[in-house]
């Protein structure tokens, strides 16, 4: 990419000495490459955005960084120091070689669709937030179903008796939505996946809708503890009669991609064990 990297933010996983140590090593490397850097641990958007953010941690850390930097159109490079690591571009073992390549401009930027959510309360107070992976409405701590009236573009879809409902982006299709039975979608597409969670009805299946859709979900049940969560990071309480509206955000998340990047299908094989004969693995371990 035709851009000279001169200022970088390093966004490490919190309260992890190993990650903090690696962040300081990275800062030293960037200094030797004549790139200024700052190790960021705050929760507020920076006043002076960098040209790039290097995220050290797992998917949770990456989602936290997205929330701060995506509205500022700052590209994020994920370094996998977690477990599943679906959003990370490279493993920590290749961190320093990768940074040298990035400083030389040998990278591209891939845009990922994001979801915006407005939560409308009974007093007409509106809370607005956005997510890279998903917006989830869930029944809370009590083992009781809730009923969710769902509309798409002002047309009634169904009233779901369920544990909850997921509205996922393509990037989030391999996260909670997949666990709830939703399809895996190539992450650079633009669309929404609406998936009920443990619905108490046979007709409840995922539905894929266009990115221009407006998805409205109304809580019909009087159940305490019902929550709306975004990317599993931020939560908002929801009471009976209150609702949320999900639509495409006006900005994407920008992800740094490298020439030797792991292809999405390769990730499915390695992270989710697609195509692996479990019987053969068990026989080899015995």
> How far apart, in whole angstroms, are the C-alpha atoms of residue 132 and residue 203?
28
Residue 59 a catalytic site member:
yes
* Nearest alpha-carbon partner for 153 in 214, 208, 210, 243: 214
Residue where the block lists tokens 């266009």: 210
Contact between 244 and 64 (Cβ < 8 Å) = no
- One of 2, 59, 97, 190 is an active-site residue; which one? 59
Q: Quick check: helix, strand or coil at residue 261? A: coil
Alpha-helix runs per DSSP H in 77-143: 95-103
Q: List residues with catalytic annotation.
A: 59
């Amino acid at each position: 990419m035709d851009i000279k990297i001169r200022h970088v933010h390093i966004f490490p996983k919190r309260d992890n000495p190993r990650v903090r140590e690696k962040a300081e090593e990275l800062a030293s490397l960037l200094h030797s490459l004549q790139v200024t850097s700052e190790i960021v641990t705050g929760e507020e958007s920076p006043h002076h955005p960098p040209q790039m953010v290097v995220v050290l941690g797992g998917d949770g850390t990456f989602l936290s960084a997205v929330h701060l930097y995506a509205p500022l159109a700052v590209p994020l490079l994920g370094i996998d120091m977690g477990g599943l690591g679906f959003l990370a571009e490279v493993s920590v073992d290749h961190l320093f070689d990768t940074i040298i390549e990035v400083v030389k401009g040998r990278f591209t930027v891939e845009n990922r669709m994001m979801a915006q959510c407005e939560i409308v309360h009974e007093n007409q107070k509106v809370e607005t937030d956005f997510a890279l992976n998903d917006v989830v409405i869930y029944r809370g701590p009590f083992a009781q179903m809730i009923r969710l009236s769902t509309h798409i573009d002002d047309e009634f879809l169904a009233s779901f008796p369920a544990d909850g409902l997921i509205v996922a982006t393509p990037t989030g299709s391999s996260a909670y939505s997949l666990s709830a039975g939703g399809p895996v979608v190539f992450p650079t597409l633009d669309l929404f996946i609406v998936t009920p969670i443990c619905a108490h009805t046979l007709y409840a299946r995922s539905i894929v809708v266009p990115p221009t859709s407006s998805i409205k979900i109304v809580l019909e049940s009087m159940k305490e503890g019902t929550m709306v969560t975004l990317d599993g990071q931020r939560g908002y309480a929801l009471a009976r009669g209150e609702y949320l509206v999900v639509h495409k955000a006006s900005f994407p998340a920008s992800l740094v991609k490298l020439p030797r990047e792991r292809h999405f299908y390769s990730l499915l094989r390695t992270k989710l064990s697609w195509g692996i004969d479990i019987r053969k693995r068990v026989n080899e371990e015995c």
